[in-house]
Amino acid sequence: MAQPAPAAAITHRLVPSPAGRIHVVEQGSGPLVLLVHGFPESWYSWRRQLPVLAAAGYRAVALDVRGYGRSSKPTDVAAYRMLELVEDNVAVVHALGERTAVIVGHDWGATIAANSALVRPEVFRAVGLLSVPYAPRGGPRPGEVFARMGGEEEFYVSYFQEPGRAEAEIEPDVRGWLAGFYAALSAGTMPPAGAPDPHFVSRGGRLRDRFPAGRLPAWLDGDDLDVYAAEFERTGLTGALNRYRNMDRDWEDLAGIDGAPVTQPSLFAGGALDASTTWMADAIAAYPATLPGLMSSHVLDGCGHWIQQERPDEVNEILTGWLAALPA
């Protein structure tokens, strides 16, 4: 009896980029699909997508965004502005010997993916967005908007702005902080309706004061948590947090594409229990204008923020179906 073909091996490599180096994890061969993670994650958040995409005939490549994992970590806060991250993605595509790629992002990675498609459409021929809907650049300066949110409380994006402040909360117990943050935004462990919202900080308090205690979400076992914790214990959180510290710079840098739609073939998938989906319901409703190339849109019932880890089988089916339907 013929034996099934062995699964393609996973390959780690470092490739040059404007950041210095980007760590990529590759599996499979075929059309390139670039996978971009969010906060506070790493390439490892795509561990359940890489083999499935490879088996479906794609060259699946997950990267560590600059500031994370084995990628370079510039010291200048401004080095984490959106345009720099877009150019890292372009550099990865070219370093892999390709001219074009499909780009898929989760959380901050979704925003990075959308802007990569906007700024470098000749490189990124299609874009998939997970958890964070696309909303065109526009409106008031983001820092001013976030500062007004929450009333007597402080929105987490504002809390992250001052260098060193969030780090002082996280660094003494990186593993415990990550466990609480992941649980706070996961189906099954997020605080119940009416409980204090973990996206906000009481004046003088800490973000972790509202995290669930002592419970890991179903998608995250102790070994997975150890992988994430080990990376951030080694690198610190500053590079990851610096992404939030560039939102006003991004608003200035991207003024030339104010209101621009993403016209490439696109995909959106979010969790019904994710605040990103519910708070940005108007952005999803605007997709006929803002994502005119949208091929499919999905909101998964009973799913939180970490969609490709919480519901890997459904997300893999969505991704492979969409990729197969893309124009050649």
Active-site positions read 107, 305
* Closest by Cα among 136, 80, 142 to 256: 136
Residues 82, 115: Cα–Cα separation, whole Å: 8
Number of H helices, E strands in the chain: 15, 10
Q: ∠ at Cα 306 (304, 311), nearest 5°?
A: 80
Query: H helices within 56-135, ranges in order?
Result: 82-95, 108-119
Residue whose tokens read 């909360």: 169
Q: How far is Cα 247 from Cα 226, in angstroms, rounded to an integer?
A: 30
Residue with token string 């390709």: 98
Q: How many CB atoms lie within 10 A of CB 327?
A: 6
Give the C-alpha separation, 21 to 69, whole Å: 11
The continuous run of DSSP H or E covering 252 comes out as helix 247-253
Count CB-CB contacts under 10 A for residue 15. 18
CB neighbourhood size of 161 (10 A) = 17
Q: Rounded CA gap, 162 and 182, in Å?
A: 22
Q: 239 with 77: CB under 8 angstroms?
A: no
Whole-angstrom distance, CA of residue 43 vs CA of residue 269? 19
Contacts of range 216-219, beta carbons closer than 8 Å, 24 or more positions apart: 216/179, 216/182, 216/183, 216/189, 217/182, 217/183, 217/186, 217/187, 217/188, 217/189, 217/304, 217/306, 217/310, 218/186, 218/188, 218/310, 219/186, 219/306, 219/309, 219/310, 219/312
